[in-house]
Amino acid sequence: MVNLETTFAGLRLKNPLVAASSGLTNSVKKIKELENAGIGAIVLKSLFEEQIENHSEKLSQIADYPEAADYINTYIEMNHMEKYLDLIRSAKKECDIPIVASINCYKLSRWVEFAKTIQDAGADAIELNLFVLNAGELGDTYLEDSYVNIVRELRKIIRIPVVIKMAKNISNLPGLVGKLKALGAGGVVLFNRFYQLDIDIKNLEITSGPVFSNPSDFSDTLRWTAIVSGRVPDFDIACSYGVHSWEDSVKGILAGAGAIQLCSLLYEQGLDVIEDTLMCMEEWMLQSNYERIDDFKGKLNYGNIKDSALYERVQFMKYFSSYK
Ligand SMILES: Cc1cc2nc3c(=O)[nH]c(=O)nc-3n(C[C@H](O)[C@H](O)[C@H](O)COP(=O)(O)O)c2cc1C
């Protein structure tokens, strides 16, 4: 008999699968369905700061996929604070699994204000969905400083775990995660996936790119999960971005994640994939003689494999030399 229980950011999860913040987690009905389907925890759709509304208005004009528009605009408009707090309260009342709220803000004072109210509404943790695109006009360390300052301020007044959903383009990811840990963050999610754009070469217009990730996106997630897990020991990581199979979930845990966030997979395959994934993970654990998640969590992380340089290989020259 295997046990899929795990912990993430101080929360006990009956299994490592977490529904990532998206349109699938924006109502109690959907959240309840996810719980019934076997999910271990839920991250609610983000509550966006007003400022994004302005950004999103511009962006939504070029988004031709309904979910993309939803991602950047529709929900933002509807999602006023009171409604969000109601969602937290109702989700907590209806569900037994951990409910993580998600906030997206730009101004430090707003983050603190939002987080406090969300804590009071009963959320089990807060996930910070933070990213500012630096198109050249912000300082070199603007993004990194924002993560640090926000976590520092939040930890002064927030008791519940604060989880940071990281952007990919951080110059020294393990260094920054180490700082966030030292400041009292509860864990990190590697990574967030942002709105993707494209260029329409017929009409010479900017359009929206793919809304969902694809399996090849997972390699980067795996690499950084393993490196951060090895470099920043005893700190909770949730794998996200590109998880498209039960094998990916097992790989994420081997790389050091304690939880696995699912989004595109749930959209594309429906909620039955949760039970299938859990069954396959259990079967794999049985066959590999692992009784608990902790028995193999991080077994192949950067600190635990013999040749950690394997995670640092980025050039093709040796490995694809057969491709002339
Ligand atoms: C339609 C849609 C809506 C999303 N909304 C949010 C959101 O409100 N907040 C957030 O932090 N991430 C949001 N995301 C990003 C997902 O939570 C997730 O990080 C991303 O899709 C990568 O995971 P995946 O490869 O499993 O899809 C959204 C993604 C999609 C596809």
Nearest residue (CA) to ligand 1, atom 4: 22
Nearest residue (CA) to ligand 1, atom 10: 21
What is the C-alpha to C-alpha distance for residues 264 and 283, in angstroms, rounded to an integer?
A: 24
Nearest residue (CA) to ligand 1, atom 8: 46
Q: Does residue 277's CB lie within 6 angstroms of at least one atom of ligand 1? A: no
Q: Does residue 56's CB lie within 6 angstroms of at least one atom of ligand 1? A: no
Q: Does residue 71's CB lie within 6 angstroms of at least one atom of ligand 1? A: yes
Per-residue pLDDT of 249-293, as tens digits, reads 999 999 999 999 999 999 999 999 999 999 999 999 999 999 999
Per-residue pLDDT of 16-72, as tens digits, reads 999 999 999 999 999 999 999 999 999 999 988 754 455 555 555 555 555 665 555
Q: Which long-range contacts (CB under 8 A, 24 or more apart) does 195-204 make?
A: 195/59, 195/63, 195/68, 195/71, 195/72, 197/62
Question: What is the average pLDDT score of the chain?
Answer: 90
238 has a pLDDT exceeding 70: yes
Q: Does residue 76's CB lie within 6 angstroms of at least one atom of ligand 1? A: no
Q: Does residue 260's CB lie within 6 angstroms of at least one atom of ligand 1? A: no
What is the C-alpha to C-alpha distance for residues 166 and 151, in angstroms, rounded to an integer?
A: 12
What is the C-alpha to C-alpha distance for residues 50 and 113, in angstroms, rounded to an integer?
A: 13
Q: Which atom of ligand 1 is nearest to the CA of 46?
A: 8
Beta pairing, strands 187-190 & 162-166: parallel
How far apart are the CA of 24 and the centre of ligand 1, in A? 9
pLDDT for 51 = 41
**Percent of residues, the chain, with pLDDT higher than 70:** 87
**If residue 150 lies in a helix (H) or strand (E), which one and from where to where?**
helix 142-157
- Of the candidates 252, 257, 265, 235, the one whose C-alpha atom is nearest the C-alpha of residue 34 is 265
From 213, 214, 249, 263, give the residue whose CB has the most ligand 1 atoms within 8 Å, as the site to mutate: 263
Q: Does residue 11's CB lie within 6 angstroms of at least one atom of ligand 1? A: no
Per-residue pLDDT of 102-139, as tens digits, reads 998 766 777 787 788 999 999 999 999 988 888 899 88
Beta pairing, strands 11-13 & 6-8: antiparallel
Going along the chain from its start, the domains and CATH numbers come out as: 6-311 (3.20.20.70)
